[in-house]
Structure 1
């Protein structure tokens, strides 16, 4: 019996030692970002992402192309045509001479012509790989990913020349943090900041964002968000099972010390609250106040849906009630964007973006409901 207990004690000691070593290693920004973004795990060899057909799209419905950022990173992007636009223009799309792989100049394509001339209420999709992911260059940081999001929106505004009231920004998971920051940067240029001791300083360098005038979009849709990264880490389970900092719950001071060393904090709730508050400041410069919709599923195993309730309370205070179970909070105040927070019964963490409530949120934003 003593030998069994000794082996158990030794095993526990080794496990605690390994856990402590992992936490110690994660105090360095490089390893933090390696673990947070997991961008080094690249599965491009499994798929030809230049071919939309491999993912169920029609031939030439997807156009892969590149977007340059102000700090000289190259972002791999997709444009996806709405299926009704594709069906009406299938012959011209198939007759277009297009080499295999990425399109060098998207502006010369039939897809670009359809994007820029489509005045009907269709939903064209433009999406990017953030820096360091997929075929995009660079390495991810909080400031870098925000710059990437701003670069994409600026491309839509200034190259495709799509009006802000025809744009919906949608982010899921980590993308919710990017979407919140991008929305705030356009609503109040230069307002995206980071903590530095007791002060706040601009997170994006002067000239990096290329945002000079306030703009409000048809809608901002946030799917499966988190309040901020430090608070998320206290409850996050890797793969939905392995807790990261939950073992430190009996030691709150140690947990606070570790979370205070997080390099990229992603304060989503603060940025959404600032975006909501800033809507009143520049209303004269806007043709629309747009909408803000936040969605989360109860069965999300990666990010607890309770994080969305926390975000709602940070924005709307006592108006957020009943979000401990499937429910909807819908608030419209004069001079501010409409806010709708919805807790779904099902959807998980990733599948939720394929569910009808998210598609309905996009339509709701475009139709001003």
Structure 2
């Protein structure tokens, strides 16, 4: 009996301590600086013992990737990679391998840059990666190869590490990452001379929020700018929605215990300073595009998610798709009615998942849900290569 009481007492104290530690953790999350660390995880580089100025470490050919720095208007330095498509690289391999190796002091002097700038048929993907790591981490290098798979002589890729990530200077913030995205887009259009009609935005996870803020910003300019297309992999609706479902590193539920108490979760969300309101940005972008004159090119949005994504559930893509479609219709549509329409119209690919598409006179919105692919691995899959190729209207 004494042993049982001792065991129960130990269990009680253990639960009490665990509850106290979790409450302390939740309390710490109300501090903006710590919030940013949880959201961005920028100090978790995952490439601690690798030099991101030597891309050959990730299997690229000599000088297939040109590392360089971009300057932002507010004085930050962004580390970037320009990745050549394999077919184009093969055509110019001798000249490329004879060039200096490593970080480019002047990217405009590199052959790769000239191949991008001087070819009127060249296409460009602006790549925005997710939280944690650098542009050389995890499945990102294999996914760069997937970007150009549909046109290996034409599709270049530009990827950056946001401020505070990798070799880039500064600290991440919602406003700062948007500035970084604008800097990359402006550089592509003005310095590389690539018009928006030959640019596709690709983004994954956190990058989807950055990219949606970017396209919304560009569309709200006095002279709106629309890119050829946008491909979003594992997007999320907004940070407040994400807190109830997100698992750090795919394993640690952030606020899952709190999410069981909606009022408590709602109260805690009032402390969140970083919003990333993707569903609102996307909806407003769609409305603006629908109201634009016929002289503007149409919008092209594709959302891709895996059912086995344990970081961000694919229900977030369902929400984003509904907000986009709802914004495209004069009288809107309820989530339930749209779900019924999707069931009737979607293309069933069996073990490959399913896809649904909504078109208007001004654009197209697609949702592709794969059975498999997890959170990161899916970036290197053919479904992404096909989506990128489709987003370039000249490749259809």
The alpha carbon displacement at 1:40 in A equals 1.7
How high is the TM-score relative to the length of structure 1? Answer: 0.89
Whether 1:130 and 2:131 are equivalent positions in the alignment is no
Match of 2:376 in 1: 350
Distance 1:217 1:45 in 2: 35
8 Å CA contact retained: 1:283, 1:289 = no
Match of 1:272 in 2: 282
Match of 1:29 in 2: 32
Aligned runs of 1:307-322 on 2, under 5 Å? 307-316=316-325, 317=333, 318-320=337-339, 321-322=342-343
Distance 2:102 2:111 in 1: 16
Distance 2:354 2:315 in 1: 12
Distance 1:247 1:19 in 2: 10
Aligned runs of 1:326-365 on 2, under 5 Å? 326-334=353-361, 336-365=362-391
Distance 2:374 2:45 in 1: 23
Aligned residue for 2:189, secondary structure, equals helix
The alpha carbon displacement at 1:120 in A equals 3.5
8 Å CA contact retained: 1:332, 1:339 = yes
The alpha carbon displacement at 1:102 in A equals 1.1
How high is the TM-score relative to the length of structure 2? Answer: 0.83
Distance 2:261 2:111 in 1: 60
Aligned runs of 1:29-108 on 2, under 5 Å? 29-96=32-99, 98=100, 100-108=101-109
Aligned residue for 1:45, secondary structure, equals coil
Match of 2:300 in 1: 291
Q: Is the deviation greater in 233-242 or in 260-269?
A: 233-242
Higher relative contact order (CA 8 A, sep 6+): 2
8 Å CA contact retained: 1:214, 1:282 = no
Q: Is the deviation greater in 310-319 or in 261-270?
A: 310-319
Whether 1:300 and 2:327 are equivalent positions in the alignment is no
Distance change >3 Å, CA 285–CA 233, structure 1 → 2: same
The alpha carbon displacement at 1:142 in A equals 0.6
The alpha carbon displacement at 1:43 in A equals 4.0
8 Å CA contact retained: 1:290, 1:365 = no
Residue-by-residue CA offset, 1:240-295 (whole Å, 9 max, x unaligned): 22211111233221111111211111111111111111103333552x21411111
Aligned residue for 1:311, secondary structure, equals helix
Query: Where does structure 1 lack aligned partners over 5 or more consecutive residues?
Result: 190-211
Query: Where does structure 2 lack aligned partners over 5 or more consecutive residues?
Result: 123-153, 326-332
Match of 2:113 in 1: 112
